[in-house]
Amino acid sequence: MSKISQLKDINRLKKSYIIYKSDKGFNLYTDFSKKIILNNKNVLRFLNKKRSVKKSKPTDLFIGFFGYELLNNLIGVKVPKQKSLNFPKGIFYKPEKIISLNNKLIYYQKNKFVFKKKFKININQKSYTKIFNKFKKKIKSGETYQIKICTKYKMKSKIDPLYLFCRLSQTNLAPESFMIKDKNYSIISCSPENLITKKGSTITTKPIAGTVKKNKDMNKNKALKYFRNNLKETKEHNMIVDMERSDLSRICKVGSVQLFKEKIVEEYKDLFHYVSLIKGKLKDNVRNIDIIKAMMPGGSVIGCPKISTLNLLNDQEKENRNIYTGSFGYLKFNGDLKFNIIIRSILNFKNVSEISVASGVVVDSNSKHEFTENYIKAKALIDLFK
């Protein structure tokens, strides 16, 4: 039986499974022996539990996600009561089977969508501008230097997540793409951003800050020139890089944190991103919980300085972010880990599909431009429903 046939059988049998982008293609995780639903009370126990590794196996790991609210709670930041889907704050799975798949995920099914009307945005341009101007004042008063305003696109819909994910992987393959299909929810993501990769004592982070729309006149070289000549994009990128270097420095040996790749351009379906890569060597006796608390939530999707900016966002936002700007990835029993930032994602829960996006506000920002940038980021996902 081919690997794609195995995937189709697992999907047909309605088994829970996860697909995660790997260096060579995709990995399929299934046959889960444990499912741990996290909350503010049990998350420390989950992260601190020591797991023995006598003979290391590929399945010696937990894979899943931390939601935004859970990560705030871990670092002592309160999220006020908000409008919510009551979606779990985090879920991790222990797989007993991992299947390697190539990049060509092909899955044809008809009549796999039931949806009504179109996606509705939770904040119109007028409301967005009001919030934008409020945060501009906070920037000028020095309470924050950069802040990310979240907008949501929602629609009632029943979906086939595998069909959507296969389409997404063919049109907008991203290095941190993943999919979760469980009995009562699914997540489909083309996240481009790796927040943490830890192997042994080496740790890396890849901040993305800077976006420009693709068109017939904008190629990769022109995008690089645009970013270098754009004061707002350069300021935004520099601030996020400095913050993530600072976050890494809290857990890394003195002098070991360095920019490995600085200000390169990555290309996606509808846009170009401005990207850097930072490396460091961890201090002795640093635990995974110390890494998570230092690095999450990811600064590039929050703003800076992190704590005061989170407080401003949480006071302003009326809807729970759920998975958005949380982190998906795995914790290996040997201590290695890898986590992305959950952006460019569809959460389908209680037959509602939700897409959340955000753009950065700095002192030189323009509200119309940032509002439009949010739509550009959501477009590749909205297009899947056409």
- Taking only the tens place, the pLDDT of each residue in 369-378 is 889 988 988 9
Q: Which amino acid makes up residue 385? A: F
Classify domain 3-199+285-385 at the CATH topology level: Anthranilate synthase (3.60.120)
Q: What average pLDDT does this structure show over 118-122? A: 91
Residue 151 phi/psi, 5-degree rounding, is -125, 150
**Cβ pair 151, 356 in contact under 8 A:** yes
Task: Quote the tokens at residue 90.
Answer: 């985090």
Q: Tell me the HSE value of 91 on the side-chain side, using a 13 A CA sphere.
A: 19
Query: Per-residue pLDDT tens for 140-187?
Result: 999 998 898 899 999 999 898 998 998 888 888 888 999 999 999 999
Residue 265 has pLDDT above 70, yes or no: yes
In sequence order, the 6+-apart residues with CB closer than 8 A to the CB of 89 are 38, 39, 40, 43, 66, 67, 69, 70
Query: Per-residue pLDDT tens for 41-57?
Result: 999 999 998 877 777 89
**Cβ pair 146, 362 in contact under 8 A:** yes
Nearest in space to 18 (alpha carbons), one of 3, 31, 36: 31
| Alpha-carbon span 302 to 77, nearest angstrom | 13
| Alpha-carbon span 240 to 230, nearest angstrom | 16
Residue 109 has pLDDT above 70, yes or no: no
